[in-house]
Amino acid sequence: MMPGNAFDNADLTGADFAALASLVREHTGIAMHEHKRVLLQGRLRPRLRTLGLARYGDYIARVRADRAEVQAFINLVTTNDTAFFRTPAVWDYLERDFLPGWVAQHPQRTLRIWSAAAASGEEAYSLAMLCSGFQARAPQLTFSITATDIDTAVLATAATGLYEGRTAQRFADAHPELARTHFTPEGGALRARPELRAHVRFGEHHLLAPWPGGAQFDLVLLRNVLIYFDEDNQQRVLGQVHAAMAPGARLILGEQESITRIATPFEFEQAHVYRIRQEHA
């Protein structure tokens, strides 16, 4: 172990930051700029301490040499903020526009939804609650939800369906009826009921890799993740997502994300909502 306060003196130098930013890009596609240096240092410092490493240079060597450390590194450098029913306008669109239209056009088919960059699963469970509720109006609706992320730690949380603290409190305050119907209280926390969890399949997936299931999704939520990529990788991610979408599918992006200035297979339909351009359908 290192003596005394050696760790507290370890500041991330410009060269170490550059090496780490390059590893972040290599393993996640995320572009990490200089203004994130303090953030990165704050996230990695406890890991150096756990590993008994005094210098970021030692940690860089460790990530380069040890595949198991790569996943721990990925889990630390990703930002996983999310919420149930994030951006209400999106959920209004899905309930009032997308679902009625889709059910009318596909009375016999299972709706396949992808929560890409699902973080701790709030978005995927929100989708499951929305679709379950919609079944009261349209019992013929069947649906499946695939939820993926590159961060295995948040995926493990998502699979448990256990939410505590602010995220659970905000959800219960905003949607008390849904919280009662689909969750059971556990101490101060809320756990998704097994029937809700059964609608969602969680898995690991890197958005820069091809989706292994082919062009299968009718609805993709790719929210608040493109902002972390530079334009090249945004285009690559959107290319992979496009290849995973069925004809007529819709893509939903986050509030801060506009893709109209870059060349993609998508065109703007309405706020947050994109469809596949005719020539790419």
Contact residues for ligand SAM, defined by CB under 6 A: 28-30, 78-82, 86, 117, 119, 123, 149-151, 154, 206-208, 223-225, 228, 254
In the complex, the smallest distance separating the C-beta of residue 202 from ligand SAM, rounded to whole angstroms, is 12
In the complex, the smallest distance separating the C-beta of residue 60 from ligand SAM, rounded to whole angstroms, is 20
**Which residue lies nearer to ligand SAM by CB, 19 or 220?**
220
Residues sharing a CB contact under 8 Å with residue 143, sequence separation 6 or more, in sequence order: 110, 111, 112, 113, 131, 199
In the complex, the smallest distance separating the C-beta of residue 215 from ligand SAM, rounded to whole angstroms, is 19
- Report whether 93 contacts 49 (CB < 8 A): no
* Phi then psi dihedrals of residue 73, to 5 deg: -60, -50
**Which residue lies nearer to ligand SAM by CB, 161 or 254?**
254
- Report whether 244 contacts 269 (CB < 8 A): no
In the complex, the smallest distance separating the C-beta of residue 23 from ligand SAM, rounded to whole angstroms, is 13
**Tell me, what amino acid is at 115?**
S
In the complex, the smallest distance separating the C-beta of residue 89 from ligand SAM, rounded to whole angstroms, is 13
Q: Find the helix or strand (DSSP H, E) in which 50 lies.
A: helix 37-51
**Which residue lies nearer to ligand SAM by CB, 19 or 222?**
222
**Tell me, what amino acid is at 36?**
K
**Which residue lies nearer to ligand SAM by CB, 79 or 181?**
79
- Report whether 126 contacts 85 (CB < 8 A): yes
**Which residue lies nearer to ligand SAM by CB, 103 or 155?**
155
**Tell me, what amino acid is at 25?**
R
Tally the residues of the chain. 281
